[in-house]
């Protein structure tokens, strides 16, 4: 599947009538598993990327080059349309344009550009936002940076938990006017906030969390919420599994006695063993 087909599949989710829960992916193997399990879309979150690439917290320490290469590895591995957390675009509006170009070339189906002030400002413990005007400039640059118009650009804001719902509404309206394809909101806590956002924009909506009263797909769908994130548990689970396995080995457990390992069938499926063997037979003249 070519990148444009993945992007069109992602757009089909946004133009649909139901709420989709994306599969959190962080490398080629996790992306293949998500695809095999039937997830319509995958998401490479900033925290998952930072942990997978550097083993560090989500402090925007990875570079655009590192993120792009990870996206390239993920998209090469299968057909899953992947949404990428591009944070603040790695700089000002000109950097945003370059970020979009690189992630598009790497095969991303969608990406988010946010208006959080990143990296964290000196002496400021709490998150801060850039101005609406600067945010609009970044959204315009993101739109201008793509060469494939099917690439989906999300304008993202965490204003709800920083400056309040009124500012969130103002940013939603401004980013829609700037030409983004969809809006991504974090920090939304109530149905009233969702309704306030949905009332001022016609764009598809993504929410970062859907706890409590918000965990209602019928309500969310009625407010044009098309994607509801469900965190990044897969990489957390993988971390725990690797820790438990290495700990057991260190403490003397023999490999044959380890618990929780994948079956040979699952491993072969994830590696696309049948496809590779057929390729070997076709091009190397060896029997399967």
Q: pLDDT for 189-207, tens place per residue?
A: 999 999 999 999 999 999 9
What is the pLDDT confidence band of residue 30, given thresholds at 50, 70 and 90? very high
The two structure tokens encoding residue 54 = 């550097």
b/e for 20-29, b at 16 or more Cβ within 10 A? bebbbbbbbe
| Element housing 153 (H / E) | strand 152-157
Q: pLDDT of 78-122, one tens digit each? A: 999 999 999 999 999 999 999 999 999 999 999 999 999 999 999
Q: pLDDT of 163-183, one tens digit each? A: 999 999 999 999 999 999 999
What is the pLDDT confidence band of residue 58, given thresholds at 50, 70 and 90? very high
Q: How much is the average pLDDT of 20-48?
A: 98
What is the pLDDT confidence band of residue 1, given thresholds at 50, 70 and 90? low
User: Residue 210: what pLDDT?
Assistant: 94
User: Residue 60: what pLDDT?
Assistant: 94
Pairing of strands 225-228, 182-185: unpaired
Q: Which domains does the chain have, with CATH numbers?
A: 3-237 (3.20.20.60), 263-288 (no CATH)
* Sheet with 110-114, edge to edge strand ranges: 23-24, 42-44, 82-85, 110-114, 152-157, 182-185, 205-207, 225-228
287 pLDDT more than 90? no
What is the pLDDT confidence band of residue 216, given thresholds at 50, 70 and 90? very high
Position of tokens 């309500």? 219
What is the pLDDT confidence band of residue 288, given thresholds at 50, 70 and 90? low
282 pLDDT more than 70? yes
User: Residue 286: what pLDDT?
Assistant: 83
130 pLDDT more than 90? yes
The Cβ of residue 260 has, within 10 Å, a number of other Cβ atoms equal to 9
Compute the distance between CA of residue 277 and CA of residue 85 in angstroms, rounded to an integer.
Answer: 35
Q: pLDDT of 240-279, one tens digit each? A: 999 999 999 999 999 999 999 999 999 999 999 999 999 9
Compute the distance between CA of residue 21 and CA of residue 131 in angstroms, rounded to an integer.
Answer: 31
Give me the chain's average pLDDT, please.
97
Q: How much is the average pLDDT of 56-79?
A: 97
- Quickly list H helices, the chain: 3-14, 28-36, 46-53, 64-76, 93-105, 132-145, 165-177, 191-200, 217-222, 233-250, 264-270, 273-284
């Amino acid at each position: 599947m070519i990148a444009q087909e993945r992007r069109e599949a992602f757009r089909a989710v946004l133009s649909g009538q139901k709420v989709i829960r994306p599969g959190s992916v962080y490398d080629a193997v996790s992306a293949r598993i998500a695809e095999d399990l039937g997830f319509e879309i995958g998401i490479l979150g900033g925290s998952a990327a930072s942990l997978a690439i550097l083993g560090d917290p989500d402090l925007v320490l990875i570079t655009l080059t590192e993120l792009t290469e990870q996206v390239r590895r993920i998209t090469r591995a299968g057909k899953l349309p992947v949404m990428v957390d591009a944070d603040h675009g790695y700089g000002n509006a000109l950097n945003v344009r370059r970020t979009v170009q690189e992630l598009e070339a790497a095969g991303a189906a969608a990406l988010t550009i946010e208006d959080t002030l990143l990296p964290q400002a000196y002496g400021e413990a709490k998150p801060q936002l850039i101005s609406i005007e600067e945010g609009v400039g970044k959204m315009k640059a993101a739109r201008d940076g793509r060469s494939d118009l099917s690439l989906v650009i999300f304008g993202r804001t965490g204003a709800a938990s920083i400056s309040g719902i009124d500012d969130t509404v103002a940013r939603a309206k401004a980013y829609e006017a700037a030409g983004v394809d969809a809006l991504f909101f974090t920090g939304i806590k109530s149905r009233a906030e969702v309704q306030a956002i949905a009332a001022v924009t016609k764009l598809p909506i993504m929410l970062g969390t859907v706890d409590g009263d918000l965990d209602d797909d019928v309500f969310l769908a009625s407010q044009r919420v098309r994607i509801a994130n469900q965190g990044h548990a897969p990489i957390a689970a993988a971390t725990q599994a690797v820790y438990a396995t290495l700990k057991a080995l260190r403490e003397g457990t023999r490999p044959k006695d380890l618990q929780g390992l994948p079956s040979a069938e699952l491993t072969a499926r994830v590696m696309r063993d049948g496809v590779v063997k057929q390729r070997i037979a076709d091009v190397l003249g060896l029997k399967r």
